[in-house]
Amino acid sequence: MTDQPDFDIRSFLPYLLNQAAEESSLAFQHHYKQRYGMLRTEWRVLFHLGRYGAMTANAIGTRAKMHKTKISRAVAALEQKRYLTRQKVESDRRHEKLTLTAAGRKVYADLCAVAGTYDAQLLAPFSAEEQALLKRALERLAKL
């Protein structure tokens, strides 16, 4: 029985990352849930379309590392909320180009503003070097 009493789950990196991710997303989650009735999958799709312009569901999946079923459902929900429209691509009619509507862009702009200030608030306790290191480390761990 090789016990390792010195190993503490609370310093296990995946655990720590998960705790930090959950805690840090709470306040923002509240915002898009209460105000727009959206799920995390939905605002992610919205953000990607808002930031990178119209694209297919598949392209979002590659960028955001989201499974296609999640995207399919998020897109359906956003379509019903009239935040985006679909358009079959004529050159290959399996693809659908997703485009934000005016309403969708407005929600995107609002959430962007909120996310921006919220992000700054989260990062405030750290120095510029610490912030840079933290982001680089996370990107590396996320294999982005």
Partner DNA sequence: GCTTGTTAGTTACAAATTCAACTATTAGGG
Partner DNA sequence: CCCTAATAGTTGAATTTGTAACTAACAAGC
Residues that bind DNA (CB under 7 A): 39-41, 56-58, 61, 67-73, 75-76, 92-96
Nearest to 74 by CA among 87, 90, 61: 61
117 binds, among DNA, a second copy, none (CB under 5 to 8 A by kind): none
Stretch of residues binding a second copy (CB under 8 A), selected from 30-38, 45-53, 70-78, 86-94: 45-53
| C-beta closer to a second copy: residue 88 or 136 | 136
Place of tokens 């290191």: 133
Cβ(119)–Cβ(126) under 8 Å? no
Measured from the CB atom, the residue of 76 and 109 that comes closer to a second copy is: 109
For residues 3 and 33, what is the distance between their CA atoms, to the nearest angstrom? 44
Q: H or E element: which one contains 15?
A: helix 13-36
CB of 137 to a second copy, least distance (A): 5
**68 forms part of the interface with a second copy (CB under 8 A):** no
* 112 touching a second copy, by CB under 8 A: yes
- Report the distance separating Cα 87 and Cα 96, nearest Å: 5
Least distance (Å) from DNA to the CB of residue 88?
8
d(CA 67, CA 64): 9
